[in-house]
């Protein structure tokens, strides 16, 4: 999660926008403070308001409630409806003088705010151009910004899909520690659907209760007949010709095992004893 920044916008940006579009809506809002949640060269900035009013659609804003006796803060929050997409050179960083509770609330909810804002951008983009949701929003003024949000969402979907495609045994076969760690999260879900797999897990756990959940999963995936453990980063392949050698299994760590063989590798017997 990136730490948000507070900015105001250079008047030159509003003037150029007015000349390009003929729209004076933003020109009248110069001097506002904006919250920036993105780090790209050109970013979306969301105005912070002391009173969002009562008529603004719920998906067009993100309230930032906090205890205060200041009558100006009637319904404070972030106004998605009037967000703008601005090149970095037109932003001016300002000191965060918001009430502490409000500033902390925004910081604690950055991910939620970002997700809600992105959903709002996509909502406006798909809205009827004659609807109030479309006409009263500044989002349509920045098509390049809309495309950036779409690209971000597509990347998220690809990341989720790639995680779903990772099979733990295949990740082990690929000898890729990064894939293994990602696959472990998905593999854990399968235990609720596969009773035999859960039975194998509990059997190994009974013999080796000191191992982590992840390492127990790895042993189940490798149909382990426990002989010898090695670190995941070693990736020493078993030599089938050396029948006197114990089988080798790949684990994430071996910090709880104390007995080592002549090569410095931890050893565990069939009873799960080190």
Among 15-19, 176-180, 227-231, top mean pLDDT goes to: 15-19
Q: How far is CA 208 from the centre of its chain?
A: 34
DSSP 245: S
Give the pLDDT of residue 75.
Answer: 93
pLDDT band at 261 (very low <50, low <70, confident <90, very high): low
Q: Which residue has the higher pLDDT, 136 or 253?
A: 136
| Cα 245 to Cα 248: distance, rounded to the nearest angstrom | 9
pLDDT of residue 93: 93
Instruction: Give one DSSP letter per residue of 170-201, joined into a string.
Output: HHHHTT-HHHHHHHHHHHHHGGGT-HHHHHHH
* Span 207-227, average pLDDT: 76
Range 155-163 average pLDDT:
59
pLDDT at 146 (0 to 100): 93
% pLDDT > 90, the chain: 40
Bigger pLDDT: 220 vs 160:
220
Which DSSP letter does residue 75 get?
A: B
Task: Evaluate if residue 207 carries a pLDDT over 80.
Answer: no
Average pLDDT value for the chain: 79
Asked whether the predicted pLDDT for residue 239 surpasses 70, the reply is: no
Q: What is the pLDDT of residues 43-71, one digit of tens each?
A: 899 999 999 988 899 999 999 999 999 99
> Out of 128-132, 137-141, 185-189, 264-268, which region has the weakest mean confidence (pLDDT)?
264-268
Helix, strand, or coil (residue 45): strand
State how far Cα 247 lies from the chain centre. 38
Return the SS3 of 11. Answer: helix
Contact 114, 152 (CB under 8 A): no
Q: Distance between CA atoms of 161 and 166, rounded to whole angstroms?
A: 9
Report which of 43, 10, 44 is spatially closest to residue 27, judged by C-alpha positions: 10
User: 3-state class of 236 per DSSP?
Assistant: coil
Q: Which of 157-161, 170-174, 215-219 has the highest mean pLDDT?
A: 215-219
Residue 249 — very low, low, confident or very high, per pLDDT cuts 50/70/90?
low
Residue 215 has pLDDT above 90, yes or no: no
Whole-number pLDDT of residue 203: 83
**What's the pLDDT at 94?**
94
């Amino acid at each position: 999660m990136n730490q948000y920044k507070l900015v105001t916008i250079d008047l030159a940006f509003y003037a150029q926008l007015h000349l390009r579009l003929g729209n004076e809506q933003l020109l009248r809002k110069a001097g506002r403070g904006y919250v920036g949640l993105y780090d790209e060269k050109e970013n979306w900035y969301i105005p912070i308001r002391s009173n969002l009013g009562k008529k603004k659609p719920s998906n067009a804003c993100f309230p930032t409630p906090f205890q205060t006796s200041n009558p100006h803060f009637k319904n404070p929050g972030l106004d998605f409806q009037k967000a703008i997409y601005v090149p970095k050179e037109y932003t001016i960083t300002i000191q965060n003088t918001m009430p502490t509770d409000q500033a902390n609330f925004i910081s604690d909810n950055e991910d939620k705010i970002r997700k809600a804002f992105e959903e709002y951008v996509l909502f406006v983009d798909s809205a009827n151009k004659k609807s109030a949701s479309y006409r009263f929003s500044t989002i349509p003024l920045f098509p390049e910004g809309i495309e950036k949000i779409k690209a971000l969402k597509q990347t998220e979907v690809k990341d989720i899909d790639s995680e779903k495609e990772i099979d733990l045994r295949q990740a082990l076969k690929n000898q890729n520690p990064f894939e293994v760690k990602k696959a472990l999260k998905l593999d854990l879900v399968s235990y609720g659907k596969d009773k035999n797999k859960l039975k194998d897990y509990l059997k190994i756990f009974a013999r080796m209760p000191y191992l982590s959940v992840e390492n127990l999963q790895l042993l189940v995936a490798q149909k382990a007949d426990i002989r010898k453990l090695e670190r995941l980063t070693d990736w020493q392949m078993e030599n089938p010709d050396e029948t006197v050698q114990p089988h080798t299994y790949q684990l994430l760590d071996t910090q709880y095992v104390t007995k080592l063989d002549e090569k410095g590798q931890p050893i565990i017997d069939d009873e799960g004893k080190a």
